Structure 1
Amino acid sequence: SFFAPHRDSEKVNGMFATLVVNLPSRHEGGSLVVSHDDETRTIDFDGPAGAYSMQYAAFYTDCKHEIEPVTSGYRVNLIYNLRLAGRKRQPTAPRNSENVNRTAALLTELFTDGPYDKIAIPLVHEYSEAGLSPDLLKGSDRSRVDVLARAAEQLNYQLYLALLTHHQSGSVEDDWDYGGRWSSIDEDDAEMDEVFDESMTLSFWIDMQGHEKEFGKMNLDAEDLLDAKNFSGNPSRQEVHEATGNEGVTMERWYHHGVIVLWPEERYFRILASEGQDAALPALVELIDSEPDPASSEAGRTFAREIINRWRPSHPLYIKRDGQSASAVEMLTQLQRLADADLVNQFIREGMVNDYGGSEGALLGALCDQLGYASLASALTHFIAAQVPTERRASLKATVEIVANLCWHDAPMTDERRSVCRTLVGELQAVMEQWDQHVETSPWLREHETREGIVESLFQALAAIEAPDLLENFLTHALTNPKHYDLHTVLIPAVKTSYYEVDEQSLGTEVMHRLLQHCIDELHDLTKTPVPVPTDWAQDIEIRHNCEDCRELQRFLRDPKAQVYRFRVRKDRREHLHRQIDSHGCDMTHVTERKGSPQTLVCTKTRASYERRQRQFEIDTQLLEELREMAEA
């Protein structure tokens, strides 16, 4: 029921290996253990699968092997001697232990003295995604991977197979006719002249068990590619692009090649973090999920620190303030699980300061409750102070939302929390004054920031921390700054949203009554005199341009009786008149009558300004009635 460790003798001429075929048989034990070249593998034939399916294993005759005792049932096998007919020299089991030791020493030297975090070694043969697997490697690649994998295991390095994509873009060799079209070359035969840009990325990761790893795409520097002579051959794909504008004929090439990728295990976090938070955060979540006690996970803290150190803020031109930054929210969520105040402080100062959306306040409040408001106060103050209008990534509304959530989220209002929140609101008000005094010189670089919703948020926050003095200061600032705190778009919506939410016993009641009365007074002034109906067609508009056509347009505008005027002028003069009418806000339509030459621009005066003022008067009258009812309720 067992075999002691032994090597098979050559039972027939040319025998080089033994094949064991395990027939379906119910049993326990009887594992085959094969040892060779300082490696041992155990093949289990028992278990549920062994009772119903065929299994097999093969090993060279010079491999020591044994059969462990069968503890129950029957183990039924067919044993075959393997030989290659017609060959005098039969294959033998490779002995790589010496090469493994030498390779381990070289790898240690490479990562100790060199500038590498990771290295990639090209495979000799070509592989597709379907063929890139340890079990399907060809020729010398199998030995190469075997040696490197054993050396990596010895050194506690991580080793994977991956597909390397080398992309190049550049100009085509001079072989096209006048006009920028290639003529005598076929797209597949085109040769690149000068390379303008190139990059290398790794993807489709496979571990030594043949399992795919979700590392995504990873960049590779050219100096990290070793033994590059194996990285050659024809491109997998290339495209030639015709000339456009000032750019001549260009082409792109893509080379795909299988590589072996190694790195020391302790650099794994740094390597993933260097690819950016979008690539690294899923791995951090997976790591923390695997920890029985995340708060005591040293690996989790190390990885989180590497991600923060390499946090990449969004480019200011592409920031979308939709209420959240998915990466910042995810990072705060994982930091809450790690419960490390130093990491939270570092992330607020170095990561979130340039990458936030406004919804992070609830998580920050939970972190303050967990770690203590005082422990995060300095970092939060730094974050708020950095959100100045000259910083392209800053958003006043999102910053106000974060501070408001910190002040009024559902948790006990301790003295420590109230004190820290007062400090944060004080810093916020200083930042708001900078925003309200700022004159934007490059409005195309950021979305216009209104003050809509800000009054409501600050009222809730300041009422929650019982700071009537700060509330009074803010309201005074808002009421004396109608340019930013518009009556119709900011103040009245704030009253209608928040008036009934303020508790009569709250310290914010008096301030809210003051805001309501201010809105009533302003609406009363706007509606005490009806909008006068125009008695003629004259428009009091000063045309700033002084050409002949503009002087004629000016006379038409001032004429109290003329409603229609016709400019029969050439196209460029008509276009000039179109621009002047639109830019000066003239109440008139201006349509080209496409008859004759030159054609005629027909200008017809309207009552558009009067109609707008009348509609606004009616709206203001209705709003005044609504607010008076609120005040009397």
Structure 2
Amino acid sequence: MRNFGSDLLDCLNLIKGNGSFVTTHSSPFVFPGLSVLGQGEIAYPINELQANALIQAAEKASFGKGSQTIIDETVRRAWEIDAENLLFNGQQWDQFLQKALNTIKPQLGIEDLEVEARLYKMLVYEKGDFFLSHRDTEKEKGMFGTLIIGLPSKHRGGELLVRFDGEEQCVNLAEEAGNYRIPYVAFYADCEHEIKPMKEGYRVCLVYNLIQKKSEKAIRLEPLGEHVSKLATILKAGVGNRSFSPGIVLLGHQYTPENFSQNQLKLNDRTRATALIRAAAEAGYYAKMCLVTSQLSGIPAYDGYGWDETPDDNVEMGEVYDGIVTIEHWLEEGPPPLRSIEVDEDELLTTFKLNEGDPVEKENTGYMGNYGPDLMHWYHYGAIVFWSKEYQEEMLLKEDIPNQLEWLGYYNTKRRHLSGKETAICESILKSVLNKQGTALKAQYHVIADWVTGSRDETTFKTLGYPLLKRYFQQIQPDYWVKLVATYPSKHFDLLFKQIGQQGNVSHLHHLLEILIELTNMSNSNNLLASQMEALPEYFSNAAQRQEKPLVNGTALTILFNIEKLLPQQKEWVDRMVALLCENNERKYINEVLVPVVLNPEFGTSFSKALLSFTKKNLQYRVDNKPQPPANWSRPVPKKQKNLRIWKLLESFLESPVEQVFDFRKNKQERTEMEDAIAGVTVDLRTETIRKGSPYTLRLFKTEDAYDKQIREWYEDVVLLEQVKKMVN
């Protein structure tokens, strides 16, 4: 481990890179104040009419070939307007341009150099336009790169592909440009790049040459290939050695979790991280960027005068009484992490000592009576974690289900390029998940369906897919079920869905309905749909026997109506379903679930009409039996198991037909107990505290709240009945 670590660090320290070969950002919209000769000032977003006007003022885009400038629409098809025909009014655009330069310079590794952006052309790409792979020629002295700024315009396609040293990045300006923002991308002139064909709309952008103002040493992008090869050789020599799997290399700087990203890495950190990640992939490792956090807890240095009661985060830490090193923040880019990795400080690969200098975060609890303040320091170091693929399965199976499924989802995206070992790991994950009980929060179970779909193997489906899909039926969204049904024989799903339906779980039935409505869009699912529709009465009957209420909600009933409209059922089916759905005659169910759906004029089948008839009868019965006001002041005693002493005390008062007020003069604790008991039930009582004497008096008043609620509901029923009658007629 010692020699391996030293060799790796020595190799990394030789890398003195100058940043990324490409960087992309976006900014909130500012008015450029841009005018085009002969067209006037441009308005935003640029629409079709204005784009066509720009094209009228433009020329066919050319490109350089050797010493010639030629036009060849098999190589490049676009429109261009020279800088001399473009004019900016005001200072807003100059300020924006300077901010953009200040943003991209650190990303390109040239923050200490003086550069400027000089406008070269405006480019307009319409549907079908493109530019094949090429390198930008040096158009003026000191040019080292290109800056492209997208102007707000809705479009699709026209992605920019930038390549250097075996790497490629795809930059799509469409989303930001279509949302009234200003996207921009900068890259070195050494990079090959191309514009993919436009699919829709107009891509309008300004192209600037990036110029080095002082020519002491020309800005060049150094290839990392040689360093990557050396690092990969060191890593390959260590494959099979458990002692450094995983290994953790600390980069040279600290970062806050908020500003930690590959684009935000400082100085040499970026190129070293890039080289190590590339070398790891070449050598048969996984590699992942993270923050290694060292947390120190201690007390401030004592100055002999005592501690100030006002906390000061910047005081020096004296005695350290606790310290822990962990990984608390992983970057999203790249493969998933192994989230349970524990950090051994002694095993970290680093050229510097931890916890020296200023921490990124500090906290002082302040003086606490007889206790002095606690001081906490957090050091967040950028790091690369790498581990051998040889031990991936062993380590991964120690992780929890959410992390295992993260990896399964990652492997799904690499399906065509998986090794036999990685395929076996996926099957091990599935077996591990199958052997676990219950469901895990935040676990992405749909990746199981993705894997089974991608396998296209009935043996895999039967042995692993079927039991997993059955167990996690409700955790897998309908669109993933559609892909499965499109891949495997429908007989498998007919059996699986029937087993699910026979369980009589209402939430599972609702999920099944969501799947079935999606399947109506598949031409080859008719037999499966017909079989499942035929079985629905049995499913709902099973749920009714379990006394699950309600059997449907508004969404489920709407889906059911839509399916039955597409696949009309026989009278026997309709009668059974109506009988099941009408067993529940509770007002809330009738008014809030059935009525809103049956009033939809889109549904005119015998099924919906039968439920409409039921709701009419139910509403008519309630309207015919208008609530009557209480005959006297007697009120029912709540049937509650809690606070029996309170309700025993109030029993005679509540049952009295003449008493309306009850005074309860007790201490605050007993009055609060009485108020809590009343607040916890539905009862025609209100309370008021009489703040005279000692103790105060809690006065109880009988009300007609129950009747008031009943009469309000009755008037609502009258309105609904009229609406239902109109539908019936």
TM-score (norm 2): 0.52
* Contact kept in structure 2, 1:203 and 1:217, CA below 8 Å: yes
- Is 1:405 the equivalent of 2:513? no
**Correspondences of 1:15-414 after superposition (within 5 Å):** 48-50=136-138, 52-53=140-141, 103-104=234-235, 106-110=237-241, 116=245, 118-122=246-250, 130-131=265-266, 133=268, 155-157=283-285, 162=289, 164-168=291-295, 188-189=316-317, 191-194=319-322, 199-201=326-328, 203=330, 219=339, 221-222=341-342, 227-228=347-348, 230=350, 232-234=353-355, 236-241=360-365, 252-264=376-388, 276=403, 302=423, 305=426, 309=430, 350=468, 354=472, 360-365=477-482, 367-369=484-486, 371-378=488-495, 380=497, 388=505, 395-396=507-508, 398-406=510-518, 408-409=520-521, 411=523, 414=526
Q: SS of the counterpart of 2:686?
A: strand
Partner of 1:536: 632
Gaps of 5+ in 2: 1-64, 68-133, 145-225, 256-263
* Contact kept in structure 2, 1:305 and 1:343, CA below 8 Å: no
Gaps of 5+ in 1: 1-25, 29-45, 57-94, 206-212, 289-293, 320-324, 390-394, 439-447, 504-508
Partner of 1:9: none
Partner of 1:68: none
Q: Point out which structure has higher relative CO (alpha carbons under 8 A, 6+ apart).
A: 2
C-alpha distance after superposition, 1:63-112 (max 9, x if no partner): xxxxxxxxxxxxxxxxxxxxxxxxxxxxxxxx9999979835641232xx
Equivalent residue in structure 2 for 1:526, among 622, 625, 628: 622
* Contact kept in structure 1, 2:561 and 2:603, CA below 8 Å: no
- Is 1:436 the equivalent of 2:560? no
**Correspondences of 1:395-474 after superposition (within 5 Å):** 395-396=507-508, 398-406=510-518, 408-409=520-521, 411=523, 414-419=526-531, 422=534, 425=536, 428-429=539-540, 432-433=543-544, 436-437=547-548, 451-462=553-564, 464-468=566-570, 469-474=572-577
Pairwise CA distance, 1:189: 0.7
Pairwise CA distance, 1:592: 0.9
C-alpha distance in structure 1 between counterparts of 2:672 and 2:279, whole Å: 76
* Contact kept in structure 2, 1:157 and 1:263, CA below 8 Å: yes
C-alpha distance in structure 1 between counterparts of 2:233 and 2:524, whole Å: 63
Pairwise CA distance, 1:459: 4.0
C-alpha distance in structure 1 between counterparts of 2:727 and 2:584, whole Å: 24
The residue type equivalent to 2:381 in the other structure is: H
Pairwise CA distance, 1:571: 1.8
The residue type equivalent to 1:402 in the other structure is: E
Q: SS of the counterpart of 1:436?
A: coil
C-alpha distance in structure 2 between counterparts of 1:248 and 1:427, whole Å: 70
Q: SS of the counterpart of 1:562?
A: coil
C-alpha distance in structure 2 between counterparts of 1:115 and 1:449, whole Å: 57
Structure 1 residues 103 and 501: alpha-carbon distance in aligned structure 2, compared to 1, 3 A threshold:
same
C-alpha distance after superposition, 1:445-484 (max 9, x if no partner): xxx9974443343344356455545554343233234469
Structure 1 residues 452 and 165: alpha-carbon distance in aligned structure 2, compared to 1, 3 A threshold:
same
The residue type equivalent to 1:365 in the other structure is: V
Partner of 1:487: 590
Tell which deviates more after alignment, 369-378 or 587-596.
Answer: 369-378
* Contact kept in structure 2, 1:588 and 1:606, CA below 8 Å: yes
Partner of 2:611: 515
C-alpha distance after superposition, 1:559-581 (max 9, x if no partner): 33333343333222322322333
* Contact kept in structure 1, 2:557 and 2:597, CA below 8 Å: yes
C-alpha distance in structure 2 between counterparts of 1:307 and 1:298, whole Å: 15
Partner of 1:208: none
Structure 1 residues 253 and 376: alpha-carbon distance in aligned structure 2, compared to 1, 3 A threshold:
farther
Max Rg structure: 1
C-alpha distance in structure 2 between counterparts of 1:50 and 1:554, whole Å: 96
Structure 1 residues 460 and 591: alpha-carbon distance in aligned structure 2, compared to 1, 3 A threshold:
same
C-alpha distance in structure 2 between counterparts of 1:134 and 1:625, whole Å: 73
C-alpha distance in structure 1 between counterparts of 2:582 and 2:427, whole Å: 47
C-alpha distance in structure 1 between counterparts of 2:500 and 2:394, whole Å: 26
Q: SS of the counterpart of 2:727?
A: helix
The residue type equivalent to 2:579 in the other structure is: T
Structure 1 residues 151 and 279: alpha-carbon distance in aligned structure 2, compared to 1, 3 A threshold:
closer
C-alpha distance in structure 1 between counterparts of 2:530 and 2:596, whole Å: 28
Structure 1 residues 376 and 171: alpha-carbon distance in aligned structure 2, compared to 1, 3 A threshold:
farther
C-alpha distance in structure 1 between counterparts of 2:141 and 2:461, whole Å: 54
Pairwise CA distance, 1:311: 8.0
Count of residues in correspondence between the two structures: 495
C-alpha distance in structure 1 between counterparts of 2:281 and 2:652, whole Å: 91
Partner of 2:679: 582
Q: SS of the counterpart of 1:524?
A: helix
C-alpha distance after superposition, 1:34-79 (max 9, x if no partner): xxxxxxxxxxxx96545644699xxxxxxxxxxxxxxxxxxxxxxx
The residue type equivalent to 1:239 in the other structure is: E
C-alpha distance in structure 2 between counterparts of 1:558 and 1:135, whole Å: 81
Partner of 1:79: none
C-alpha distance in structure 1 between counterparts of 2:543 and 2:614, whole Å: 21
Pairwise CA distance, 1:590: 0.8
* Contact kept in structure 1, 2:286 and 2:335, CA below 8 Å: no
* Contact kept in structure 2, 1:539 and 1:558, CA below 8 Å: yes
* Contact kept in structure 1, 2:667 and 2:696, CA below 8 Å: yes
* Contact kept in structure 2, 1:240 and 1:251, CA below 8 Å: yes
C-alpha distance after superposition, 1:267-315 (max 9, x if no partner): 8999999784896699679x57xxxxx9x666799599589748899x9
Partner of 1:39: none
* Contact kept in structure 2, 1:556 and 1:565, CA below 8 Å: yes
C-alpha distance in structure 1 between counterparts of 2:441 and 2:235, whole Å: 46
The residue type equivalent to 1:624 in the other structure is: L
C-alpha distance after superposition, 1:337-373 (max 9, x if no partner): 8877788886785479548579x33553354245442
C-alpha distance in structure 1 between counterparts of 2:552 and 2:697, whole Å: 42
- Identity value in percent: 16
Equivalent residue in structure 1 for 2:698, among 587, 596, 601: 601
The residue type equivalent to 1:429 in the other structure is: F
What's the RMSD between the two structures over aligned residues? Answer: 5.9
